Structure 1
Amino acid sequence: MTKADKPVQMADAELRAEQPDAELFLWREQAITLARILERTTESPSVTKGPGRGATQLRRVTELRASLKASRSQNRELRAELLDRDRMIDAAQRDRETVQSELLALRSSTLWRALGPVRKIARVIPRPVRTLMRSPISALTRIVPSREQNPPLESAPSAIAIVNSDESSVATIEGKVIHRPSAFFRDKNSQWVEPMLRSDRLLLKEFKPTARIAVVMHLYYTDLWDELSDSIMDIPEAFDLFVSLVGEENAPFADRIRQTFPDAQIIQCDNHGRDIIPFLEIVATGVLYQYDYICKLHSKKSVYREGGGEWRQHLVDGVLRDTDRVTTILAAFDADPDMGMHVADGAKYKGREYWAGNEAHLGKYLPWFGLSTEVYEQEFAGGSVFWIRPFLLREVDSLKLNFDDFEPEPIGIDGNLAHAVERLFSVACHNAGMRITTNTDLENGSRQADRAKPPLIIANYLPQFHPIPENDRVWGKGFTEWTNVTRAQPQCKYHRQPKLPSELGFYDLRLPEIREQQASLAKAYGISAFCYYYYWFNGRKVLETPLESVLRAGQPDFPFMICWANEPWSRNWDGLSKETIIPQTYEDGWELKFAADILPLLQDDRYLRISGKRCVAIYRVQHIPNAKLALEKLRAELLRNRITDVQIIGGWLRLGDDAELPDNPSDLGLDGYFEFPPHNIPTAPETTRSIETGDSINGYNYNYTVDAAVDAMSEQRGPKRYRGVTMGWDNTARRGKDAHIFLGASPASFRRWLRATVLQIMNEKPVAEDAVFVNAWNEWAEGTYLEPDQTFGRGWLEAVSSAIGRKLSDENVYEREGGEGRTSIETNIKATQSES
């Protein structure tokens, strides 16, 4: 055994003897069990059964709290000890690799081979003589070059200094600070990357949540880590932790964080934009939208104010403090879909004095949402420590703020972009029709969960995303709706165009995998059914391929219905002419042919039933001559084919020379109406001018329409009318400068409209089944769609799930394949008890 081999073998033996997992598991389970005992003790009714008993219990609680704190401290010390041991083993391994590299470099050199005969002769030379020969041989090695231009020896560490982990452990190589977590933690966290590499943001895009809660912490002052980490341990269920560290000097602190949270996701950032830029960088990866709730923390000291440390503790205690408080907050979020943010008492502000300093920044960004700076009477959450629903981050995320938008340090205590963004989170909350709560609000009585059944959410579905001969002839070969979508350009300031798809891409509806993806998205976010536009012209069908493929394949397994688009197919929508491509006629006997064509659809088990009846919609019922008699014939033919449970509804709209719709739908042979906004909804012109010509454009304020529609909901709907909502309207892709544009539409404002609609229906009909028609699932050329786009991602879908009180965790999206993933505290305790 050589001197070089001995430390390597000793390190190998020590590595084989290392069993950190068992020791760590023991300490973790002791801490968890102690925390559960503490929780049960504090919740026990016996605490209040008398002064003597209460004093005993109080002493017991105090002892348990002290024991728990000591256990956490021991846990951290054990992790630090294990981490140091791992580093020593790693250092020994690197020593061995260095020696091997040196030997390999030497043996592969020209000199080594050239001196082969000399070595053979040297073996027979006596030791004293060999000693005298070393000097000339060393001189020769400095003259004859190696074959390797950059041998491993040059990059091998000349010295390795292992520093205790409590003092920010580093490995020093030729004076350069290099940070790597131990092999133990690298194995536990495959997402780890070298610090200061921006690839950590890329890896977050692929991160799969293991819980419904994310904790996002900005750790500028690393000396506050123990305080903040102790606070988040009071969260009574599993969570994923994201931490941002500032500067190279804090990079080694990642190891310290992983002593307590081995799976923590850590990004490195510069000291710019305070806690806001790091938070927005994590938001921009999309990972946070996969959670139900986010707890945002940061290590603020507020050195500019007296008692800054007490202020931080107050803010953190307001959202964490202990298990009981967090349990109460989460229960309130679960029960109340309109609870958007939660902050500590005293952390809500309103009034011009708190907003005015940020008006310059707010005036730049609020118009994108159809809002002015006159928001100072709204409350906003101050302190940047809060619980929030991820959906509300879509507004700020859509602004695509970057590093250069924020002022360089040092910045003032107000009036900069970081403080303006802090207020924008709250603006989004109010825009979505949600509230900001405090602990006092919850103590005064939290809202009870909705008991009434929410209505069905039916999304209108356009099948014009595949080539057909009719479009080829008129518009050119290969034309689809995407042809229009991609050519749209902004017509005025604060106009979002072009509107482009994100994750589904520019799809072709002839592909079954696209239809499957659409149905999967719709189902996950609470859409009840697709309402396919059915293009039927006296027996001639157009754009029928997607729906007929669904019928033949039996997939996707997702409810559907049809809306007969019974008007002539013309070019009037493009502003070029009123040339008719396919006329819509009603020849004698059309009712029988139409019944025969839709019969296979109605007989499919997936066809949508509302209150037990199959629903057939007709877009423009006034266009049908003698509609009441015609629909009676249609019903009779369907009845003859054993369709006994059909209901026929007509669009609540009026086009061209159409007559006014009667209040009673039965006057037209209908069972009811369905609203089809933007038809028959209040509008208000938005004063804005064309970028190109300076002329006024057909702009409307979406927020005005939302508020007016919500105010009008108390009005009687008539005998039967299904409500309708829309994400806006913007047919720039089809009409260019002659387009009609709703400005300021966003998922938050759409959610406000849909949520009010859902509540109104549940109050009117808490038991009976009802429906809301959404215009539309994929009307991209008309600027109203639920599918993910490049501005708001899945924000429109998230607005739907939020409006009906649905959470991602309702779909069990946090259960990994094979039952793997993070287990809850309760599961760990049960497992420990079972083993005992």
Structure 2
Amino acid sequence: MTSMHQDYIVGVYYFPNYHRDVRNDEWMGEGWTEWDLLRQAQPRYPGHRQPRVSAWGQFDESDPVWAAREIDLATDHGVNTFLYDWYWYDQRPYLQDALERGFLQAPNRERMNFALMWANHDFRSIFPAPPSKDQQLLARGSVTAEQFDVMTDYIIDHYFSHPNYLKVNNAPYFAIYDLGTFVKGLGGLEAAHNAIEQFRTKVRALGWSDLHLHGHIFSRTILTSEMSLTNPSEVIEQLGLASTSIYAWPHFYDPDAGGFPKSDYRLAMASIHEAEEQYRTASVPYYPCVSVGWDSTPRTPAEEPYIAYGYPWTAVLEGNTPEAFREALQWAKAYADQTQAQTPRIITINAWNEWTEGSYLLPDTDYGNAYLDVVHEVFGPSREMKS
């Protein structure tokens, strides 16, 4: 039994950089977590709402006690699925302890589903980012066919077998963040197709109907290493994607388009809706994405002038009030109702805890649970049903 709405899967992206990791110790300093950036954030212009302060304080997400508290908060407010940002660098996982030691060890873990969003982008030094576009490469996100085979064995062994891993029609859901980097790393579309087919074969051999492969498509990049697709329809067809979406609104909308250093949330919302309309008649379902907000200033050095160098030196989306967020959720719900024939219908939210990008549902000292209350109002509470 897993926690699920009868009609909707409300999947919220979970960014697991708020616990200690051995490679963070090496790259950023002993004991470093992303809480350090949040704590050091400063206003960048008059009226800028920084620093953001967690109402729960700076907790360790790899602690199952804290993970259990997150699960209860999420499910009590209508969030029934965590979509974990999941990393694989140098043939081993990174930042996995929030999921493996936290969520999967929590006594109430089966109250909600989880799934992986493979964040296969290059990992660069943006914690904080230098005042330029020159960001040091820490780890490459591309993989070879052999490395992908090892990685998918790990994924199947460690995650898919859990009863609360998200399945769509008995097919484990697996998302790829950067399809362009994936295809390039494998050596082309044919090789990428073959690697995915091998993954599917392993999944089917264990009794599941198929692999539900979800891909992120975007008309513009955020991170410097991301690759936009020149022919997304061909990639969708050749890789056999079952669905598509974006990770966050800036993949369809440039925050700087409405001004710098600040822009408007509703302006971004209108642009996102226009972009998503193009996917109503796509060959596979497009799952609408709602961003809670956007403010990546904590990933820049507070002592440096705030200049538009590109991510994370981007405009802040002001006006992302709970009321505006409600409008965005209601639009996404209606879009899903009109475009997804199957139930439960899937909607994604960015994010549970992207604190240093200004997009989070977790309570802060300004709004408390207001954004979670909106999710509850729009979708209702999670309830038990068979997955």
Normalising by the smaller structure, the TM-score range is 0.7 to 0.9
Q: Does 1:729 align with 2:300?
A: no
Higher Cα Rg, which structure? 1
| Aligned pair partner of 2:336 in 761, 775, 788 | 761
Q: What's the CA shift string for 1:712-736, capped at 9, x where partnerless? A: 5544431222111101110111025
TM-aligned CA deviation for residue 538 of structure 1: 4.7
Give me the whole-angstrom Cα distance separating, in 1, the residues matched to 2:381 and 2:78: 9
Match of 2:239 among 651, 668, 681: 668
Structure 1 residue aligned with 2:143, among 581, 586, 597?
A: 586
What does residue range 207-606 of structure 1 map to in structure 2 within 5 Å?
454-502=7-55, 504-549=56-101, 550-551=103-104, 555-557=108-110, 558-572=112-126, 574-576=128-130, 577-599=134-156, 600-606=158-164
Contact 1:684–1:704 at 8 Å: present in 2 too?
Answer: no
Secondary structure of 1:508's counterpart equals coil
- The answer as to whether partners of 1:724 and 1:773 remain within 8 angstroms in 2 is yes
Per-residue displacement from partner, 1:465-503 (whole Å, max 9, x unpaired)?
A: 11122112222211101000011111123321111111x
Q: Percent identity?
A: 24
Which residue does 1:370 correspond to in 2? none
- Offset at residue 657 of structure 1 (A): 4.6
**Residues 683/799 of structure 1: CA separation in 2 closer, same or farther (3 Å cut):** farther
Question: In structure 2, what is the Cα distance between the partners aligned to 1:610 and 1:763?
Answer: 19
Distance 1:786 1:684, change over 3 A: closer
* Residue in 2 that maps onto 1:621: 179
- What is the CA-CA distance between 1:709 and the residue it aligns to? 3.0
Structure 2 letter corresponding to 1:514: W
| Partners of 1:453 and 1:767 within 8 A in 2 | no
Question: Secondary structure, in 3 states, of the residue corresponding to 2:109?
Answer: coil
SS in 2 for 1:722: coil
Counterparts of 1:765 and 1:671, CA distance in 2: 12
Aligned twin of 1:640? 205
Q: Which residue does 1:707 correspond to in 2?
A: 270
- CA-CA distance at 1:767 after TM superposition: 5.5
DSSP-derived class of the 2:375 partner: helix
Question: Equivalents in 2 of 1:521, 1:793: separation in Å?
Answer: 12
Asked whether the 8 Å contact 2:142–2:181 carries over to 1, the reply is: no
The 5 A counterparts of 1:63-78 are none
Write the distance in 2 (CA, Å) between the matches of 1:709 and 1:583. Answer: 30
The alpha-carbon deviation at position 564 of structure 1 amounts to 0.9
Instruction: Pick the aligned partner of 1:719 from 279, 283, 305.
Output: 283
Query: Which gives a bigger RCO, structure 1 or 2 (Cα 8 Å, sep 6+)?
Result: 2
Range with greater deviation from structure 2 (561-570 or 707-716): 707-716
Inter-partner Cα distance in structure 1 for 2:63 and 2:283 = 41
CA distance in 2, matches of 1:538, 1:638: 24
1:791 matched to 2:361: no
Distance 1:588 1:630 in 2: 6
Q: Amino acid of the residue matched to residue 152 of structure 2?
A: A
- 2:290/2:350 contact within 8 Å kept: yes
CA contact (8 A) 1:730 1:782 kept: yes
Structure 1's consecutive aligned runs of 4 or more residues displaced over 6 angstroms after TM superposition are: none
Cα distance between partner residues in 1 of 2:341 and 2:215: 24
Q: Which whole-Å deviations, capped at 9, do the CAs of 1:139-165 have from their partners, x for residues lacking one?
A: xxxxxxxxxxxxxxxxxxxxxxxxxxx
Deviation of 1:554 after TM superposition, in Å, equals 5.8
Alignment correspondent of 1:681? 252
Post-superposition offset of 1:574: 3.1
Q: Give the 3-state SS of the residue equivalent to 1:616 in structure 2.
A: strand
Q: 1:771 aligned to 346, 354, 377, which one?
A: 346
**Paired amino acid for 1:651:** H
CA shift at 1:640, angstroms?
A: 3.3
Instruction: Give the aligned residue type for 1:594.
Output: M
Task: Please say if residues 530 and 560 of structure 1, whose CA atoms lie closer than 8 Å, have aligned partners that are also in contact.
Answer: yes
For 1:246, the equivalent position in structure 2 comes to none
Q: Deviations over 1:425-445 (max 9, x none)?
A: xxxxxxxxxxxxxxxxxxxxx
Compute the displacement of 1:572 (Å). 4.4
Letter in 2 for 1:513: V
Look up the equivalent residue of 1:601 and give its one-letter code.
Y
Kindly state the Cα deviation for residue 800 of structure 1 after the two structures are TM-superposed: 1.0
Match of 2:377 in 1: 802
| Deviation of the 1:590 alpha carbon | 2.0
SS of residue in 1 equivalent to 2:324: helix
With structure 1 as the length reference, what TM-score do the two structures score? Answer: 0.39
Unaligned runs of 5+ in 2: 308-312
For residue 773 of structure 1, give the secondary structure of its aligned residue in structure 2. Answer: strand
SS in 2 for 1:679: helix
SS at match of 1:617: strand
Cα pair distance change 1:497/1:616, threshold 3 Å: same
Q: Do the aligned partners of 2:21 and 2:95 also contact (CA within 8 Å) in 1?
A: yes
Alignment RMSD:
2.6
Secondary structure at 2:148's aligned position in 1? helix
1:554–1:597 CA distance, 2 compared to 1 (3 A): farther
1:686 touches 1:701 (CA, 8 Å); kept in 2? no
Task: Report the CA distance shift for 1:555/1:511 in structure 2 as closer, same or farther (over 3 A).
Answer: same
Gaps of 5+ in 1: 1-451, 689-696, 812-836
Letter of the 1:659 counterpart: L
2:252 partner letter: I
Shift of the 657–651 alpha-carbon distance from structure 1 to 2, 3 Å rule, reads: closer
Contact 1:466/1:510 (CA < 8 Å) preserved in 2?
Answer: yes
Name the residue aligned to 2:310: none
Count of residues in correspondence between the two structures: 349
CA distance in 1, matches of 2:23, 2:381: 43
Which protein is richer in strand relative to its size?
2
Partner amino acid for 1:460?
A: Y
Render the CA deviation track for 1:724-765: whole Å, top value 9, x for unaligned. Answer: 110111011102524321112111101101111102222344
Report the counterpart of residue 782 of structure 1 in structure 2. 357
Contact 2:17 2:95 in 1 (8 A): yes
1:378 corresponds in structure 2 to: none
Change (3 A) 1:716 1:539: closer
Q: Which residue of 2 aligns with 1:744?
A: 319
Are the aligned partners of 2:297 and 2:356 in contact in 1 as well (CA < 8 Å)? yes
- Distance change (3 Å), C-alpha of 1:660 and 1:554: farther
Write the letter of the residue equivalent to 1:581.
Answer: L
